[in-house]
Amino acid sequence: MSILVFVENADGQVKKTSLEAVAYAAAISEDVIALAMGNNIDQSELEGLGKYGATKVLHADDEKLNQGIIQAYATVISKAMESTGADILVLANSSLGAPVSARVAIKTDASLVSNVVDLPDTSAGFKVKRSIYTGKAFANVELTKDKKILAIKKNAAEVKEADGSAAVEKFAADLADSEFDAKITNTDKATGEVLLPEAEIVVSGGRGLKGPENWGMIEELAKELGAATGCSKPVSDMEWRPHHEHVGQTGVKVSPQLYIAIGISGAIQHLAGVNSSKNIVVINKDPEAPFFKAADYGIVGDAFEVVPKLTEAIRAAK
């Protein structure tokens, strides 16, 4: 059984969520074919996909595919599925993967499941477990069509590196000019040493920090932890922090290994964006803050006293 995995990249490097998708596919089949697009990705990155379970990598080496035009990506993937005979497509449930997978499902008449969190159960049909209600519940979904598309939730698959190197082959999709009728005129990229959607650790601040001038201690703690910084919606609305750091239902949804919330009360809209985190630590001087009910660990105290001490303790432990 061949499985095709759509691999995303950023600045020439394969995204971790795509490595998870490759590892997930490798746990299902020994015949895993990765597909990468654009001419801005390092060859060594593609070959390195063999360490995570890919047996071969198809590279649509076309400069026009650098930007992520959704309809063009969907066409390339559909053609690659036909060329390889793959009946299953695996990809990350990302801001790019979600719309691309929907278009591929229409093009190939495939069953599509998003937010997949576990390997398929094939004992009686083909069923997968997916996260629903912003991570509050799970649903078991049966896929009945011949072709199947699985969009994997972040951190749903363990990435293990082994020995190996994948052979890279050029893949000519022969795209019509009409595939590029849509144009991306501007892109605002998140900045920082660690990008929020990819982060394993996130340190977020809320109105309890009293103003943008106090964000230095958030950034210092994040730097010691190798973490990304985030914030609550009121903070971004007041322009204390840029909008791309807004974590929540209407902002960025994160699933890090560790989420540290500092001076955030824990409104339901914020919790909807973070409740898939493996571990949540809350620091708040209000013992009745709703966030403590969702926390794995909580510290009742003044952030201006607790955070500097925590940062110093982490620095000393290093």
Q: Is 241 among the annotated ligand-binding positions?
A: no
Q: Is 184 among the annotated ligand-binding positions?
A: no
Q: Is 149 among the annotated ligand-binding positions?
A: no
What span, in angstroms and rounded, lies between the C-alpha atoms of 231 and 95?
A: 20
Contact indicator for 103, 74 with CB cutoff of 8 Å = yes
Q: Is 94 among the annotated ligand-binding positions?
A: no
Q: Is 266 among the annotated ligand-binding positions?
A: yes
Contact indicator for 260, 297 with CB cutoff of 8 Å = no
Q: Is 265 among the annotated ligand-binding positions?
A: yes
Q: Is 28 among the annotated ligand-binding positions?
A: no
Token pair 């293990």 is found at: 160
Q: Is 53 among the annotated ligand-binding positions?
A: no
Contact indicator for 184, 69 with CB cutoff of 8 Å = yes
Beta strands 258-262 and 279-284 are parallel
Residues belonging to the binding site are 207, 263-270, 284
Residues belonging to the binding site for FAD are 207, 263-270, 284
